[in-house]
Amino acid sequence: MSFEDKGGRGGRKGGERAQGGQRRSFFRRRRVCKFCVEKIDYISYRDMKLLAPFIPERGKIQPRRISGVCASHQRKLQLAIKRARQMALVPYVTE
Amino acid sequence: MSQSRQYELMYIVLPEVGEQELADLHQQVEVIVSRFGGTLDKTEAWGRRKLAYEIKRQREGTYVLDFITGPGEMVKELDRRLKVIDQVMRHLIVRVDEDVRIAERRRTEREAAVAKRRVARGLPPEAPDRFREDEPAGRNGELDAEDREGE
């Protein structure tokens, strides 16, 4: 409801003010924490399927500002990824 | 006065180690666990898996996962012994009971809140089946067969 409204407005704004070259040139979908949405309370280091989307090619942990994960889940995710790294399930770095 | 706690032990064995030796290793773990009055609840053999990086010049390893209940001293001893055994490339012991308990509490709280909201709206406390937020099966770290192969 209100969610859709926001989206529509954001999109129009971007289109109209394209000449201005201001900071929001296109509409970006509001990011929500995947773990909150799916109601995942415990992030296990063994669950590769769950961790994989947060480990980009380079092997670094995806920052919150990009993935949209909330602070508390990011902390849990961070711990899980670090444990997975120890067990060579996930790389520390990849060239 | 040692409390019993739940742990997950995962260790990676050299890929050339055979079935028999693997069973021996498992036996060793079991002996330590039982000596401290703990129990080995479940074992998952992940089998051979590609490592994300080289360990001891190896690109592959055999993964074993044990679910253990026992006191903290047991973990200390397991840790020490696993470090000594050469066939074990790497191991990790993680305490899980606390996290699982917190997760469970969150879930019940959430369910209670949902029921309360529903009642406030004059609906029955339980949502019809198709809206139910059931925990998807195989969550909490269980891998599907396709995952285990490694890419």
Average confidence score pLDDT of chain B: 85
**CA B111/CA B113 separation, integer angstroms:** 5
Tens of pLDDT, residue by residue over A23-81, are 555 666 667 888 998 888 899 999 999 999 999 989 999 999 989 999 999 999 999 99
Asked if the structure places residue B137 within a domain, the reply is no
Question: With 70 as the cut, is the pLDDT of residue A6 above it?
Answer: no
* CA pair distance B141, A50, nearest whole angstrom: 8
A50, A83, A89 member nearest B94 (Cβ) = A83
Give the SS3 label for residue B108: helix
Distance between CA atoms of A51 and A71, rounded to whole angstroms? 16
The closest CB to that of B140, out of A47, A83, A87, belongs to A47
Domain count, chain B: 1
By residue count, chain B amounts to 151
Question: What average pLDDT score do residues B50-69 get?
Answer: 93
Chain B CB contacts of A40 under 8 Å are 139
Model confidence over B92-123: pLDDT tens digits? 999 999 999 999 999 999 999 988 888 888 88
CA A72 to the chain's CA centroid: 13
Query: What tokens does A3 get?
Result: 């969610």
Question: A66 touching B, CB under 8 A?
Answer: no
Q: CATH number for the domain including B22?
A: 3.30.70.60
Given a cut of 90, whether residue A9 has pLDDT beyond it is no
Q: Is residue B146 part of a domain?
A: no
Amino acid at B133: E
Higher-pLDDT residue of A80 and A19 is: A80
What's A1's DSSP letter? -
Q: How, if at all, do strands B39-55 and B58-70 pair? A: antiparallel
Q: Which two tokens stand for residue B123?
A: 């609906």
Residue bearing tokens 């790389």: A91
Asked if the structure places residue B116 within a domain, the reply is no
Residue B125 binned pLDDT confidence (cut-offs 50, 70, 90):
confident
> Domains, chain A, ranges and CATH?
1-30 (no CATH), 31-95 (4.10.640.10)
Which residues of chain A does B99 touch, with a Cβ-Cβ cutoff of 8 Å? 42
Assess A37–B contact: CB distance below 8 Å, yes or no.
no
Higher pLDDT, B2 or B143: B2
Q: Is the pLDDT of residue B32 over 90?
A: yes
Phi, psi of B121 (to 5 degrees): -90, 5
Domain assignment of residue B132, yes or no: no
In a domain, B27, yes or no: yes
Distance, in Å, from the CA atom of B25 to the CA atom of B39, rounded to the nearest integer, reads: 16
CA dihedral sign of residues A71, A76, A79, A84: negative
Q: Which of B91, B24, B29 is nearest to B55 (CA)?
A: B91
pLDDT digits (tens, 9 = 90+) for B130-151: 655 554 544 444 444 444 444 3
| B65 part of a folded domain | yes
- pLDDT for position A75: 94
**Residues of the domain holding B20:** 5-98
Q: What is the pTM of this model?
A: 0.73
Question: What is the ipTM metric for this complex?
Answer: 0.75
